[in-house]
Amino acid sequence: MKKVNIVFVHGLWADGSSWNAVAPALIAEGHEVISVQNPLSSLADDVAATKRAFAKLEGPIVLVGHSWGGVVIGV
């Protein structure tokens, strides 16, 4: 079975490293994992950073957003 791609989007008071405890286990299972490092300069900039992460992946993507990240992935 093909594994899915997982894109993590952090909250406003965090950065991409906030997913470091979760990502290694998913990678070990064979998933491609990207933790987006949003600039937090504007919603548009954060959406653009997240879309750049999508461009690196092929196949299905599961989006995971926390706090502000939920707003970014909802746009």
Identify any residues that bridge with 7 across adjacent strands, giving them in sequence order: 34, 63
What is the overall mean pLDDT for the chain? 93
What's the gap between Cα 72 and its chain centre?
10
For the stretch 30-58, pLDDT in tens is 999 999 999 999 999 999 999 999 999 99
Kindly state the percentage of the chain with pLDDT values over 70.
Answer: 97
What's the gap between Cα 12 and its chain centre?
13
- pTM metric for this prediction: 0.90
pLDDT for position 1: 60
Report domain extents, the chain.
Answer: 5-74
